[in-house]
Structure 1
């Protein structure tokens, strides 16, 4: 490849300009080159990718290209970027250097760096101690771009239709989009959509080669907005513009990513977040480029193009309805998969198919309808299971539920579904005639439900609009006001287990005024009164699933009380009978969190099947003891401490967030030190927790994508079989933390395509979906895949449905929603293998089979009549407990800031 480095000369000159513009106070050595990179990728022919950290060191590779970009192209782009950077904040006059940059006459100002020809190993790999192949850092961005351009040079033919692809650079890789978009006529309007292929590079634990994931989806485009301009926080706009100079071999392959949003400082729509679109008119004075207001008013006009320039606004459900359904069916994804495989051969080869490793897909207490039983036997068994779980949690105490409703339909549905779930007759009305209170009794269970209108409790929060005060402070004041209102409305009640179900509007109803959604304020208010809370949105005019949503509302309420019976597995004798499950989850809120207050909290949940009261428990770090699950929820809401000090606020922020640096005044070294302290404290808590679990066999469940933020030893490159690593210390045998400890890591896409998409095929070439546990052919494999069945709530679609090239009999195919089960990766990190037993001096014991522990983890995804959970039940409970971590700015800080004003 041809490689260009920024060079110390040009880097120093641009850094000086950056500092003069008043933007170098925090990191004077870091240039904001994101916009420049976007410009060069789209406007410089031959450029494949941009290197990382080129803005911090001029000696690092900056541009990778197939051919040299001539100075008459490179200089104007750098000049337009530097002029825009200088003028953006201060509106100052452009310096002599910038004028020469813009005109392309750089010779007298500073020498442009020279291109060099370098060999780049696209398979450069370092193998970790644990046997995991890790690609060179630059390949995470370079290889996806290389793959994308190789594929974009080809066409995809399906159903008599030929599709062309364009490349879009993404933060974690690259994307391919069919362009121009396809059309779907529905309800007298044209709707636009494209096939989208996400390309990313990833590692797999203990695997000797890294992977390139290519996942498929539907990208939909906006044709009209159902929101006002001031409600548009930020949406992606892809710009298709021809090169303003003679192009090279990559001409027309790239779409330029921008962000369109409402600028509250300017009080108008604007290009935001380093968008390169505002600089295009300086590079091309001939063509007309879309302005934010015009693009918002006429999105369909621009998606069809104007003067060789087109722009597509990426659709999001918050922007209004769309008649094209998301997702692609398996057969169509299989066709794209074959096209990708053919286009990359022989440079990359497809990973061998996984095979089914067990037939025990579901727990024994979750029978299928009609499977060896009479009609209704399954429902009766589940109903009995719920009653037993409720009786165990209540332990003779009454359950008191307050329903605050806004529509009579929701009130009626909630009162009707409760007795159905637990197999009780209709309730009896108690109390005065004007008191809407109902009671159910039987089998050691007493439930009292009081229904009343929500009134002002469900109104939008009246958040002050005084922008001189911090957003978190104004929101905290509004929350305190709602808490007082709730306290005035709530009756003391009798002793017992207490909860609230509240009907509120969906969050889209509160989008017009930021922070006005009352959900989190109500949760805080009721937690202060010792009550867990569950919310249900009021129905739309065409809502036909109210009965179903009411049923789930009660099931979620039972879950918050800990009234859950974990599924009894069907794995085999290799699983200890007295096994307990423990799950860890890290809650991480930034200043954009639900209360605009940063926080970090490590949550641990323990599930002990077959025990008495308190089968579901949570770890109270303050008292260092296990408490019932509902008590954990209340403690999380009441003990979430506000972050007031600058150091603590930076601790909760993303270390790469320059805005956090400016707010707190901390330098990079200081923030790094705070992050290390936070990591050491989290690891100390995990170690202390493991010590508390040594009394019985334990399965520790952790989501690697979530927990590696505070436990770096869970990163793929740090993993070793049957070893646990903490901090800088060498990894140790996992049995040192418990002789009967097993450790299983799970991982999903995590918003980064970390696991691949999948489909199933049989020996006859048919393509579809299948549930089960899957593994590689190697007998010593520790990595498995879990796929679940399709929920009964998902509509059944005909096989062979094609959305990219609809057949005559399937003209409405683009409007269908194609649901695909997620791939959950299961890594058995620690078990009692032969080596682990030998190292522990237990050679005579029967070793574990990793596949059994993977199967157990898979079966924990099935519970009650819920659709299969995205994660095993203990992790599901730990993650949902994080909804109660709602810190607020402290009272003293609010008073002092108000006094200062």
Structure 2
């Protein structure tokens, strides 16, 4: 079915929304005392520059102690007279006072400062004030973008969530009416969780889940009204343990949702809100414990949960606590690293639309639903897209099948020839030399066959050979085969007591071994088999192998297999082909999307994607790293994919760029003077992580990059969530149509910067920045296309949707998470275990174009570049941004591939 419009799960205010709330501020005297206590425990060089205290850890306790508190101010510790707590009704001030006292015990200050802080805390009044607030309050920025007041983000979503919980009539697929509870604030969004948890399949003990509704306030570039986005989904719960009899958390802390049947003095509606604790694994104790702010000494004095839950018992028997043992019901959210879950991921289409219609009846009392978006009548796919062949129904089935197979064979041979020609273009030697390091002979054979399929080579027997050779009219192919031996085994690290020195030594040893292995092969690239899953990241050798191979000038791609019979082993052939296709991408020899509107903007147009590599978390195996990178895509060039080496300010072939990134990332890791205190505001952090330093360095990167392109038609592609912190100009509130700010002091018309430059910013569904959607023509499918709002003159804002991902291809439009679905042929189907397709939108904003340009055509270019012929599927981002994101793997080599 062809859809001409889509509906968005988004709403906007049409006037004021008054709501009386209670506000508490941190008294100035108490703020000063806490700041002094905190500073007295810092090293002298940090104490001099610190004018704050760690409010984040204090705020983290509030969901445990005061569930009626809807939101907290984020800048209380560095600004005077800023509201701290927002609540529907006053929460007992003594509870807040006790909470601050318990939290302050974790500050490492001197005795005199602690005594003074305790005195002030005992004597200073903590008072609530009632204040009516307009939940729709917003200003309009210079670019015409709405700027909601700070209180709108948490309070409007909390208000709407409460209306949905109290009034919405929502039912599951089997007809059960659903009840929801509010969970503590999630950043600046509100969340509802269906409670108690539901068992999707009564005969399956591991099929427990809940429905989830998330509401968030979002702004749109150049739009004077903000929006509320509504996301619906499912949260699957952990019910079983791993091989060691504990919940597998991969060494991370995990959330635990808890509800109690006991009353809490002074609380208005204890059963309407959940509490959230965090569970972590203590390697020394070899068991799970509560996170530092959730220790037993805080319970029940600073928690909604009056009967403490034993962390070790919860991790050993999560199902017992999930089904409501005693007065407390506890649920641990499931993640894919924890193994298989009986309930499929995502919310089914048959649930989503009824949910949104039920929500719409409630939300429409306060907000107006945004209008449908109509299809843009421009090409959706690149010129080299090949649709599924169709044949006349007058032909017999046998004849149609025969012609279909002939067409598949023809296309396969054509694709292989294109890849061989691309390899010849990017490799000056005329020979493609590759290596396979295998651990299982079945994987070796699959990889040899995969290379033959990808490049159209004659199949060969690899069982006795160490080297295989092929000769084609385009290129010579040499493939070395070797058992990897100990190279792919776990790193020599003590898992129970890992140290930075031990890990560094193990990584360096394996890196050296990998470099020696590859240095004598003169290979261009290699596929390396890893035949096991490393439960501990400290043992995973991929990180070290990739660095060592880069030292030897060899690109690497890993293929993951597992014990015989597993899902990874069963699709070995497919994974082998994908490994070679990924290697060709790294070499710059993949089949590329060719947009049909290529000639509309001055002929040989080029696309430049800027990406910020930003690994904030420091661990034993990974140093922290931040740096901007850029990729250029020229579809008709002999070197269509190049990377910007900012050290020499030149474009280099993609393969050379990746190898340089791996080596330069290690040489330039800014790990010195990075120690920072929790309470230090981002703008005052030391070293390269200080926000203004990152912004300054980003501008120093972008200015010469753009200057080098002057005189050529160029489309600059940026990803909002990735780059806006480092390039503030691309954030919604700073954008002004057809102007550019490259850090020169003020924005200028883009035509003055370069008459050939255009800027397109994309934004995906991270943090619900784009709304969910469905087809508006009655059947509620998820159509592919480019969409716009017809009522907006000179529209700059478009939405791009792709075809379904393979993981959701089996989800029918009428499928529901619960109940039995009857098909047109009277078949009964249960879809509980079927993965759903999550309807993600990509927002395309044409922020700057030249006189005479049609913004819809630029948006269509970005939309067409989401299709990857080599992968035969739609990418999350346009191809140049996808390449930049993948290049970051070489700048930030990580344990998990």
TM-score using structure 2 length:
0.87
Select 1:510's aligned residue among 522, 534, 549.
534
What whole-Å deviation, never above 9, does each CA across 1:353-389 have from its counterpart, x for those lacking one?
A: 1111125211121111205896324434433332332
- Cα distance change on mapping 1:271 and 1:810 into 2, 3 Å: farther
**In structure 1, how many angstroms separate the alpha carbons of the residues matched to 2:460 and 2:304?**
75
What whole-Å deviation, never above 9, does each CA across 1:829-884 have from its counterpart, x for those lacking one?
A: 1112xxxx3xxxxxxxxx11111111111111112241211111111111111111
**Corresponding residue for residue 8 of structure 2:** none
Residue 689 (structure 1) aligned with residue 689 (structure 2): no
**Corresponding residue for residue 3 of structure 1:** 23
**In structure 1, how many angstroms separate the alpha carbons of the residues matched to 2:424 and 2:511?**
31
- Cα distance change on mapping 1:95 and 1:853 into 2, 3 Å: closer
**In the TM superposition, what is the alpha-carbon distance from 1:527 to its structure 2 partner?**
0.7
Residue 848 (structure 1) aligned with residue 853 (structure 2): yes
- Cα distance change on mapping 1:647 and 1:129 into 2, 3 Å: farther
**Corresponding residue for residue 524 of structure 1:** 547
**Corresponding residue for residue 780 of structure 1:** 794
Residue 563 (structure 1) aligned with residue 589 (structure 2): yes
**In the TM superposition, what is the alpha-carbon distance from 1:39 to its structure 2 partner?**
5.2
Question: 92-101 vs 138-147, which deviates more?
Answer: 92-101
**In structure 1, how many angstroms separate the alpha carbons of the residues matched to 2:496 and 2:67?**
49
**Corresponding residue for residue 6 of structure 2:** none
**Corresponding residue for residue 838 of structure 2:** 820
**Corresponding residue for residue 503 of structure 2:** 475
Alpha-carbon RMSD: 3.4
**In structure 1, how many angstroms separate the alpha carbons of the residues matched to 2:883 and 2:561?**
25
What whole-Å deviation, never above 9, does each CA across 1:578-637 have from its counterpart, x for those lacking one?
A: 11111111112235369421222221111222222x221111222221111101011111
- Cα distance change on mapping 1:344 and 1:698 into 2, 3 Å: same
- Cα distance change on mapping 1:78 and 1:806 into 2, 3 Å: farther
Residue aligned with 1:521, SS: helix
Question: 179-188 vs 325-334, which deviates more?
Answer: 179-188
**Corresponding residue for residue 898 of structure 1:** none
TM-score using structure 1 length:
0.86
**In the TM superposition, what is the alpha-carbon distance from 1:338 to its structure 2 partner?**
1.8
Q: Which runs of 5 or more residues in structure 1 are unaligned?
A: 651-656, 838-846, 889-901
**In the TM superposition, what is the alpha-carbon distance from 1:801 to its structure 2 partner?**
1.0
Residue aligned with 1:801, SS: coil
**In the TM superposition, what is the alpha-carbon distance from 1:499 to its structure 2 partner?**
0.7
- Cα distance change on mapping 1:468 and 1:287 into 2, 3 Å: closer
**Corresponding residue for residue 444 of structure 1:** 474
- Cα distance change on mapping 1:533 and 1:269 into 2, 3 Å: same
Residue aligned with 1:310, SS: strand
Residue 702 (structure 1) aligned with residue 732 (structure 2): no
Question: 343-352 vs 241-250, which deviates more?
Answer: 241-250
CA contact (8 A) 1:594 1:886 kept: no
What whole-Å deviation, never above 9, does each CA across 1:314-353 have from its counterpart, x for those lacking one?
A: 1112223211111012231112212222222232221111
Residue 309 (structure 1) aligned with residue 325 (structure 2): no
- Higher RCO (CA 8 Å, separation ≥ 6 residues): 2
**Corresponding residue for residue 352 of structure 1:** 371
Aligned runs of 1:626-705 on 2, under 5 Å?
626-642=651-667, 649=674, 658-659=677-678, 668=684, 670=686, 674-705=690-721
- Cα distance change on mapping 1:319 and 1:97 into 2, 3 Å: farther
Residue 534 (structure 1) aligned with residue 557 (structure 2): yes
**In structure 1, how many angstroms separate the alpha carbons of the residues matched to 2:256 and 2:112?**
30
What whole-Å deviation, never above 9, does each CA across 1:803-849 have from its counterpart, x for those lacking one?
A: 155569867322111022421111111112xxxx3xxxxxxxxx111
- Cα distance change on mapping 1:316 and 1:337 into 2, 3 Å: same
- Cα distance change on mapping 1:110 and 1:127 into 2, 3 Å: same
**In the TM superposition, what is the alpha-carbon distance from 1:703 to its structure 2 partner?**
1.1
**In structure 1, how many angstroms separate the alpha carbons of the residues matched to 2:107 and 2:703?**
50
- Cα distance change on mapping 1:273 and 1:139 into 2, 3 Å: farther
**In structure 2, how many angstroms separate the alpha carbons of the residues matched to 1:828 and 1:265?**
53
Residue 404 (structure 1) aligned with residue 422 (structure 2): no
**In the TM superposition, what is the alpha-carbon distance from 1:233 to its structure 2 partner?**
2.2
- Cα distance change on mapping 1:305 and 1:88 into 2, 3 Å: farther
Residue 757 (structure 1) aligned with residue 772 (structure 2): yes
**Corresponding residue for residue 5 of structure 2:** none
**In structure 1, how many angstroms separate the alpha carbons of the residues matched to 2:202 and 2:305?**
37
Select 1:461's aligned residue among 481, 484, 491.
491
**Corresponding residue for residue 167 of structure 2:** 154
Q: Which runs of 5 or more residues in structure 2 are unaligned?
A: 1-20, 392-402
Total equivalences in the alignment: 843
Residue aligned with 1:503, SS: strand
- Cα distance change on mapping 1:574 and 1:250 into 2, 3 Å: farther
**In the TM superposition, what is the alpha-carbon distance from 1:455 to its structure 2 partner?**
0.8
**In structure 2, how many angstroms separate the alpha carbons of the residues matched to 1:799 and 1:59?**
52
- Cα distance change on mapping 1:227 and 1:208 into 2, 3 Å: farther
Residue 165 (structure 1) aligned with residue 187 (structure 2): no
What whole-Å deviation, never above 9, does each CA across 1:787-816 have from its counterpart, x for those lacking one?
A: 101245644233311115556986732211
What whole-Å deviation, never above 9, does each CA across 1:278-305 have from its counterpart, x for those lacking one?
A: 5232368995320111211221121222
Residue 625 (structure 1) aligned with residue 639 (structure 2): no
Residue aligned with 1:340, SS: helix
**In structure 1, how many angstroms separate the alpha carbons of the residues matched to 2:305 and 2:799?**
54
CA contact (8 A) 2:774 2:839 kept: no
Select 1:250's aligned residue among 269, 273, 285.
269
Select 2:300's aligned residue among 268, 272, 281.
281
Question: 671-680 vs 681-690, which deviates more?
Answer: 671-680
